[in-house]
Amino acid sequence: MQGWTKHADAVAALRASWDAIPPGRPVRLAKRTSNLFRPRSRPDGPGLDVSGLDGVIEIDPVAHTADVQGMCTYERLVDETLAHGLMPTVVPQLRTITLGGAVTGLGIESTSLRLGLPHEAVLEMDVLTGSGEIVTATPDNEHAELFAAFPNSYGSLGYAVRLRIALEPAPAQVRLRHVRFASVVDAAKAIAEIADAGTWHGVPVDAVDGTAFTPDEVYLTLAQFADGVGPTSDYTGQDVFYRSIRERAEDVLTIHDYLWRWDTDWFWCSGAFGAQHPLVRRVWPRRWRRSDVYHRIVALDSKVGISRLLDRVRAVPGRERVIQDIEVPLERLDDFLTWFDREVGMRPVWLCPLRTRRAWPTYPLAPGEVYVNVGFWGTVVVPAGTAPGTVNRRVEAEVHRLGGHKSLYSEAFYDRETFDSLYDTAGLDRVRDRYDPQARLHTLYDKAVRNS
């Protein structure tokens, strides 16, 4: 019961911080870290104290459930669930993503084809609404509409204080097969087969993601959960995981290392800081080879401007940051990547198939249909004087044309009419009218596009 006592104290501190915000003033979280990649307006005045809401309250190893506070990172959550031989159904790639963030935003990983998205494991959640009330929402109680609209709402409907989630048994090891395909079309056919059968060449597939290095070099990494397969690889030292995909047809990782295989080098993005160079890697402490460290380096560079100075020295005319995750229907994956290579030209890209189990109005993917998340993160050179967001706007338009959707953790440039049609603004407004009648919280459009 100690976990519940601490939780009650944290909720009391949260309520006290709410009371300290003057009536009529906007409400925000008082947190220093973020996994968002979009600018935000500088906050003024006090924020909500969520400092005590960063832990696991209780794990039920019999029911395979966990009660977790909203600001608990997946790193901490995984450490505690693995001690019970359990794991969350979907563990997003980066250690410092919080459970509440993954649910009110959109988390995804290699189990998403089999198990959906993180919010689909939520059984109930306590939400601090814009009225200052904490309500318990479930799929079928009087707050079911809030429960359904909450995923992809990014704090515009409130903040998750506590979530009860379903867990699944965790294996000791994960056997990987890195299967190369000569085209995206061939890889898409394999994804469709795995989605239907749950196997590839007769071997069960518990998780799948992909890495497209070039148009004719596409790999699917097929994971089979197992116990006692054999010696395991370590990609927290000199070796780099994404390079191993090209070098090894098969591999074995511990479940812990599998879940964080992408975090050590921020997929492949740590190369921008020299962290993949053998000499630099030897002196770069392991504890600093992680995504949140790289994120802070990027934030520091944005303030100091070292990259901008180097661009001037190199006579780079202009540069635009293109950091996005999008979903397109499986059958349109080749269409998107063909357009992407022609218009953007960024490789590698990450591929992660997914399938939702029910309709979620704020991110309306068709239940049961296979989509593929395409992740691409970097910058592109643009002509001098190019309007801000030009490349990102083209990405948005193409994804929309292909019947896909874009996650809102990064910059968005939609006009209001298009945004309203894609993210169910009318439904959000109806929920907001009930739970935030004084409009204390910013709208989703304000957060995602206007960067409020």
The string of pLDDT tens digits covering residues 347-376 is 999 999 999 999 999 998 999 999 999 999
pLDDT at site 242 = 98
Distance CA 292, CA 101 (A): 15
pLDDT at site 197 = 97
Instruction: Indicate if 305-413 has the same CATH topology as 2-170+430-448.
Output: no
Which residues partner with 206 through β-bridges? Answer: none
Q: What is the mean pLDDT of residues 138-144?
A: 98
User: Using an 8 Å Cβ cutoff, are 319 and 382 in contact?
Assistant: yes
SS3 92: coil
Q: What is the mean pLDDT of residues 142-150?
A: 98
Six token digits for residue 104: 């009110």
pLDDT at site 149 = 97
State percent of the chain over pLDDT 90. 88
- Using pLDDT thresholds of 50, 70 and 90, give the confidence band for residue 25: confident
Q: What is the mean pLDDT of residues 420-434?
A: 96
Domain extents for the chain?
2-170+430-448, 305-413
Residue 71's nearest CA partner among 104, 93, 107, 98 is: 98
pLDDT(43) > 80: no
pLDDT in tens, 157-171: 999 999 999 999 999
pLDDT(311) > 90: no
pLDDT at site 225 = 98
Distance CA 422, CA 326 (A): 13
pLDDT at site 27 = 85
pLDDT in tens, 183-207: 999 999 999 999 999 999 999 999 9
pLDDT(47) > 90: no
pLDDT at site 188 = 98
- Residue 138 C-alpha from the chain's centroid: 23
Q: What share of the chain is helix, strand, coil (3-state, %, to 5)?
A: 35, 25, 40
- Using pLDDT thresholds of 50, 70 and 90, give the confidence band for residue 109: very high
- φ and ψ at 51, to 5 degrees? -65, -25
pLDDT at site 304 = 85
Angle at 176 between CA 259 and CA 218, to 5 degrees: 100
Six token digits for residue 291: 């995504």
Which of 2.80.10.50, 3.30.465.10, 1.20.1260.10, 3.40.50.2300 would CATH assign to domain 2-170+430-448?
Answer: 3.30.465.10
What does the CA dihedral 348, 353, 356, 359 come to, rounded to 10 degrees?
Answer: 50
pLDDT in tens, 67-82: 999 999 999 999 999 9
- Residue 142 C-alpha from the chain's centroid: 29
pLDDT(438) > 90: yes
Helices 291-304 and 306-313 cross at an angle (nearest 10°) of 60
Half-sphere exposure of 218 (CA within 13 A, CB side): 23
pLDDT(383) > 80: yes
Characterize the bridge pairing of strands 173-181 and 250-254: antiparallel
pLDDT at site 306 = 83
Residue 81's nearest CA partner among 102, 66, 101, 94 is: 66
Distance CA 180, CA 130 (A): 49
Q: Outline where 83-225 has alpha helix (H).
A: 99-104, 112-115, 144-149, 184-197
144-162 core/surface letters (b: 16 or more CB in 10 A; e: else): eebbbbbbbbbbbbbbbbb
- Using pLDDT thresholds of 50, 70 and 90, give the confidence band for residue 309: confident
Distance CA 130, CA 26 (A): 9
Question: What's the order of all strands across the beta sheet hosting 349-354?
Answer: 250-254, 173-181, 217-226, 207-214, 349-354, 371-381, 319-329, 405-406
Give yes or no for a cis peptide into 348 (omega within 30° of 0): yes
pLDDT at site 40 = 63
Burial of 230 (0-12, 13-18, 19+ CB in 10 A): exposed
Q: Which amino acid is at 236?
A: T
Q: What is the mean pLDDT of residues 336-343?
A: 98
Strands (E), 241-348: 250-254, 319-329
Range of lowest pLDDT (84-88, 242-246, 292-296) = 292-296
For domain 305-413, the CATH class is alpha beta
